Amino acid sequence: MRNYSTTKRVLVTGGAGFLGSHLCDRLIADGCDVLCLDNLYTGAKQNIEHLLGHPRFEFMRHDVTFPLYVEVDEIYNLACPASPIHYQYDPVQTTKTSVHGAINMLGLAKRTRARIFQASTSEVYGDPEVHPQQESYWGRVNPIGERACYDEGKRCAETLFFDYHRQHGLEIKVARIFNTYGPRMHPNDGRVVSNFIMQALRNKPITLYGEGSQTRSFCYVDDMVDGIMRLMSAPAEFAGPVNLGNPIEFTVRQLAEQIVDLVGSSSSLECHDLPSDDPRQRKPDISLAQERLGWHPKVQLSDGLPKTIAYFDDLIRSGSA
Ligand code: NAD
Ligand code: UDP
């Protein structure tokens, strides 16, 4: 039942996580009524504590693998651990979160006729033979490897989104998000940017996996949230999938050197074993996002890293990390 308010009611699953909490900030700033849902598996109340007293913000502790009955106009489905150590800790739950979570949120969208966004990932391309990756590329994923719980879970979620779209006429929006970084990343999530910054701030050795010759492209969180929101408000016929990420590619070694330099750290670089199925190269082709959403990232790594370093520095100084 619609109430008498015309304020848009928006559900953000995974809203207490890194990306989700920034998205909640933007939605509140835009005047939406935000229901932030999270089971706090990798997210934290600290990420949203500044929003807790806001009259248009509500937090609900809930696991998306269970059905949810609320009345909303839009759904952003971000719930899912995103860093390899977190999603590999309980791989069965990771797949359930992507697959059962998608079914539950799509069911909710079907009943409420809400438009629904899915946070998919560049991991659907696996260890790609095509470079840079375009949306038309079907990917190269090991279905039984240690990353499969995440990669295949997200691939199945995409399948579900497009089947609900075709079968039930749902308005869906699917973004394939490439490596994103910024304040509110979990300090111990093992992702490369957070790991290297924490190690550099503590003057500990920087853990390069392999020789550090693998590549990634790093998008600052503000750019990513802007891309996600542009996709949500794009015309209904544009469902995606669309790549969102920064196309400027760095080796992991270059990233380490830049962080050590910016921190002014005495950390040395130390090579470790490369994790299994670690993609060797990754860089988004963002022409579709540019053409259909008028979107391209604006924040250079050299501008985004200092803000992220300042965030982790505060965490360490306040004893929170
Ligand atoms: P994150 O771990 O900070 O956020 C995920 C949030 O989902 C957390 O708050 C966590 O507690 C919550 N969550 C996990 N399982 C849940 C469940 N079963 N029920 C309810 N809540 C649950 O990660 P993030 O970087 O903010 O990623 C957000 C989304 O974006 C994820 O779906 C991720 O796969 C996707 N993504 C992120 C990146 C990136 O570089 N950050 C890249 C590609 C895709
Ligand atoms: N990586 C690294 N040292 C670390 C953490 C990660 O060299 O301490 C590498 C990792 O092997 C991968 C890249 O950095 O090649 C990005 O890792 P991350 O976990 O951030 O993201 P993903 O592999 O999912 O892109």
DSSP 8-state assignment for residue 155: H
Q: How remote is the CA of residue 266 from the centroid of ligand 1, in Å?
A: 32
Q: Is 210 helix (H, G, I), strand (E, B) or coil?
A: coil
Nearest ligand (C-alpha, residue 274)? 2
pLDDT at 3: 61
pTM score: 0.96
Q: How remote is the CA of residue 283 from the centroid of ligand 2, in Å?
A: 14
Q: What residues line ligand 1, using a CB cutoff of 6 Å?
A: 13-14, 16-20, 38-43, 63-65, 78-82, 97, 101, 119, 121, 177, 179-180, 186
- Note the pLDDT tens digit of each residue in 201-239: 999 999 999 999 999 999 999 999 999 999 999 999 999
Buried-exposed string 139-171: b where 16+ CB fall within 10 A, e elsewhere: bebeeeebbbbbbbbbbebbebbbebbeeeebb
Catalytic residue positions, numbered: 150
Phi, psi of 7 (to 5 degrees): -65, 135
Residue ID of nearest Cα to ligand 1 atom 23: 82
Ligand 1: which atom is nearest the Cα of residue 191? 40
194 lines ligand 2 (CB under 6 A): no
Residue ID of nearest Cα to ligand 2 atom 21: 191
pLDDT at 276: 87
209 lines ligand 2 (CB under 6 A): yes
Name the CATH superfamily for 2-179+221-246+283-298. Answer: NAD(P)-binding Rossmann-like Domain (3.40.50.720)
Q: How remote is the CA of residue 14 from the centroid of ligand 1, in Å?
A: 6
Q: How remote is the CA of residue 128 from the centroid of ligand 2, in Å?
A: 16
Asked whether the beta carbons of 309 and 259 are under 8 A apart, the reply is yes
pLDDT at 111: 97
- Note the pLDDT tens digit of each residue in 156-181: 999 999 999 999 999 999 999 999 99
H-only helix segments in the chain: 18-29, 84-89, 91-112, 148-168, 192-201, 221-232, 252-263, 287-293, 301-317
The owner of tokens 């308005």 is 171
Q: Is 138 helix (H, G, I), strand (E, B) or coil?
A: coil
Please state the domain extents for the chain.
2-179+221-246+283-298
275 lines ligand 2 (CB under 6 A): yes
Asked whether the beta carbons of 13 and 180 are under 8 A apart, the reply is no
What does the alpha-carbon distance between residue 76 and residue 11 come to, in Å, rounded to a whole number?
Answer: 6
Low-confidence ranges of the chain (pLDDT < 70): 1-4
Asked whether the beta carbons of 97 and 65 are under 8 A apart, the reply is yes
Phi, psi of 67 (to 5 degrees): -60, 155
Nearest ligand (C-alpha, residue 278)? 2
The owner of tokens 């005047």 is 31
What sign does the dihedral 134-135-138-142 (CA atoms) show? positive
What does the alpha-carbon distance between residue 161 and residue 103 come to, in Å, rounded to a whole number?
Answer: 9
Q: How remote is the CA of residue 179 from the centroid of ligand 2, in Å?
A: 10
Asked whether the beta carbons of 209 and 272 are under 8 A apart, the reply is yes
pLDDT at 1: 54
Ligand 2: which atom is nearest the Cα of residue 196? 8
pLDDT at 2: 59
